[in-house]
Chains A and B, each alone.
Chain A
Amino acid sequence: MSSEHQDWLSAASDNKPLTKAQLDSLLRDTELQSTLERYHFIGATIRREARGPLSADFSAEVMAKIADEPAYQLKTDRDLLQRVKASVAAAANGRWLQPVAQGAIAAGVALMAVFGVQQYQQQPEDMLSPQPLLQTQPIAGFATPVSLSQTTVSDRFAEQEQQAMLEQQKRLQALLNAHRQQVRVMEQEQQANHKAEANTGPEQNEQQ
């Protein structure tokens, strides 16, 4: 029986966790407590620690030390507080504080304005960046679809938007191709016609 106790007690002195039942028996049995204390002391000695572990009744020592401390009495000085309050109230109504207070308010407003404007100036950029009116290279590469595993509700809307944009880009690409095709097949005689027209163009304008 005792060897069983010693096993888990020795483990406990090496900072192994205790079960609830073991803890209960340790709290109940003073003999076990003193055994644990001994084990800790042995461990500390082996580890060559300068001081041994706290004794089981260290709380009693602390209590005794607290009892020895002198007691201090704290008392609020109401008179002084009231005097300061009264003088501040008098000064606030007095002539000299009003301009100072107004100045403080003005400075506060100015500060607000400065910081407010700075924040306001930062905003438009953020608002513009998601949908630039003029994209320099929209045709060249298509955006790749986002991974499905990362889909959230807002992502789904973004996906729809992206889908719409992709479709738009495809349509524009088709139109761009059609335009290039038209330029290719513009036939010689048409160009010649155009040149002839163009040459007579300015004269007509002059007549008008």
Chain B
Amino acid sequence: MMRFSGVCSAIVLVVFSTLAQAEQAGWALFDKVQSAVKQYNFDTSFVVLKGSNVDTYRWLHGRTDGQEIEHLIPLDTSGVDILRRDALVYYLLTDRPAFVTRSDSIPELPALFFEPKENISRLYNAVAGSSSVMSGRSAQLLRLTAKDASRYNYWLWLDDETGFPLRIDTLSEQQNALERWLVTHMQISNEMPENLRSLMAAELPAPGDSVTRTAVSSSHQLTWLPQGYTQVEEPANIPQLENSLLSYWLLSDGLHQVSVFVQQAQRLPTQAYRDGATTIYVQNANQLEVTVIGPVSIETARQLAAAVH
């Protein structure tokens, strides 16, 4: 009997320690990815596949001793050039002056690369997967599995040699790929890419006054939040919707952001749409139209919409 329980505990110990090791190895790979996109000078192209829709971008990053510069260029006709110099992000519009925000990463790039590891490890388990060949390079799979089943899972492939991310699949709870982020070309160099050098010195507008914010004084209440999410206090005004918007909440779990809009009811049925991993859920009930937009499952969006009173 003693021997049997001894064997059992030994097995349990071995299993736990290997699991813990796998987890540690996973997070080590994750660190590699995050430092690669921050430290290297690189010039890459990537595509974002959403269903049958494909968006193509070029992404340049440069780093000198004290300064960092990053340029995201959409290669399709629609889209805005985005430039980041240290903690300022410039949206370079053709017909209007540049729009400037403060952030140390470009929000249009996958947030996985820039969120602190502690934040992500709160929401996800990281497990290293198998190796495969991708675009002629040896790639290592890293699976980020959500601790809460309602959150999307990520499969991330990184270059064995450099740790640079090659592909990210966003998977639904049913493990269907909703969105795919895929590097098609990558060049890492010691020197900063040439065209970034001139942008480094270019004169750019100063950031505008901080965005006007008003405390939400709405008659509606949001009585439920998905696991891990908190309300962002005092979200920015939305001038273009001021007339029609009754209430608005912005929720964030650090990695994902979800918007909840409340408007007057339009006599339309309750509907759900998907744009890649972004769910758009419209609920019409009690003279109100509640629209939930964000990278959450339809079920979560439905619960959120139902929690508006």
Interfacial residues, chain A to chain B (CB-CB below 8 A) = 133-140, 164, 168, 171-172, 174-176, 178-179, 181-188, 190-191, 193-195, 197-199, 201-202
Partner of B259, one of A133, A175, A197: A175
Contact B275–A139 (Cβ < 8 Å): yes
Q: CB distance A178 to B53 under 8 Å? A: no
Contacts A179-B259, A182-B235 given; does A137 touch B53 at CB 8 Å? yes
B203 on interface, CB distance cutoff 8 Å? no
Q: Which of B34-42, B59-67, B101-109, B127-135 contacts A (4 or more CB under 8 A)?
A: B101-109
* Residues of chain B contacted by A198 (CB below 8 angstroms): 119, 122, 228, 230, 253-254
- Contact A137 B275, beta carbon cutoff 8 Å: yes
Give residues of chain B (255-276) contacting chain A, Cβ–Cβ below 8 Å: 257, 259, 261, 266, 268, 271-275
Contact B259 A168 (CB under 8 A): no
Q: What is the distance, in angstroms, from B273's C-beta to the closest C-beta of chain A? A: 5
Q: Is the CB of A182 within 8 A of B280?
A: no
- Bound complex: CA of A190 vs CA of B119, how far in Å? 15
User: Are A186 and B50 in contact (CB-based, < 8 A)?
Assistant: no
B250 at the interface (CB under 8 A from A): yes
* Interface residue? B233 (CB, 8 A): yes
Q: Is the CB of B293 within 8 A of A176?
A: yes
Complexed CA–CA distance, A195 and B241 (Å): 29
Within 8 Å by CB of B51, from A136, A182, A187, A191, lies A136
Residues of B within 8 A of A138 (CB): 273, 275
Q: Which of A134, A135, A188, A202 contacts B122 (CB 8 A)?
A: A202
Partner of B268, one of A139, A140, A164, A193: A164
Identity of the chain B residue whose Cβ is nearest the Cβ of A182 in the assembled complex: B250
State how many angstroms separate the Cβ of A59 from the closest Cβ of chain B: 75
Question: B5: which A residues are within 8 A, CB to CB?
Answer: none
Q: Is the CB of A187 within 8 A of B273?
A: no
Residue pairs across A and B with Cβ atoms less than 8 A apart, 27 shown, are A134-B273, A134-B274, A135-B273, A137-B51, A138-B273, A139-B275, A139-B280, A174-B241, A176-B278, A176-B293, A178-B261, A182-B238, A182-B257, A183-B257, A184-B103, A185-B101, A185-B236, A186-B250, A186-B257, A188-B104, A191-B254, A194-B232, A195-B254, A197-B230, A198-B228, A198-B254, A201-B230
Q: Which chain A residue lies CB-closest to B278?
A: A176
* Bound-complex Cα distance A186 to B107 (A): 9
The listed residue with most B CB atoms (<10 A of its CB), out of A174, A176, A179, A199, is A179
Asked if residues A187 and B102 are in contact (CB atoms below 8 Å), the reply is yes
Q: CA–CA, A195 to B115, complex, Å?
A: 10
- Assembly CA distance A168 to B240 (angstroms): 16
How far is the CB of A205 from the nearest CB of chain B, in Å? 10
Give the CA-CA distance A90 to B52 in the complex, in Å: 72
Closest beta carbon of chain B to A137's beta carbon, Å: 5
Any chain A CB within 8 A of the CB of B149? no
Query: A193 and B233: CB pair below 8 A?
Result: yes
- CB neighbours of A188 from chain B (8 A): 87, 102-104
Contact check, A182 vs B236: say whether CB atoms are below 8 A apart: yes
**Is B118 in the interface zone, CB < 8 Å from A?**
yes
Given contacts A182-B238, A193-B233, list 10 more A-B pairs with CB under 8 A. A135-B274, A136-B51, A136-B52, A139-B273, A176-B275, A186-B232, A187-B210, A188-B104, A190-B233, A199-B118
* Given A179-B293, A198-B119: A186 in contact with B252 (beta carbons within 8 A): yes
> What 3 pairs between A and B have smallest CB-CB spacing?
A179-B259, A179-B293, A136-B51
Q: Which residue of the partner chain B has the closest CB to A169? A: B273
For A190, the chain B residues whose CB sits under 8 A away are 232-233
Q: Is B282 interfacial (CB-CB < 8 Å)?
A: yes
**Which residues of B in the span 211-265 have a Cβ within 8 Å of any Cβ on A?**
211, 228, 230, 232-233, 235-236, 238, 240-241, 250, 252-254, 257, 259, 261
The closest CB in chain A to the CB of B102 belongs to: A188
The answer to whether B240 and A174 have CB atoms under 8 Å apart is: yes
* Interface contact B252-A194, CB-CB below 8 Å: yes
Instruction: Kindly identify, within residues 69 to 125 of chain B, every residue whose CB is under 8 Å from any CB belonging to chain A.
Output: 87, 89, 91, 101-104, 107, 116, 118-119, 122
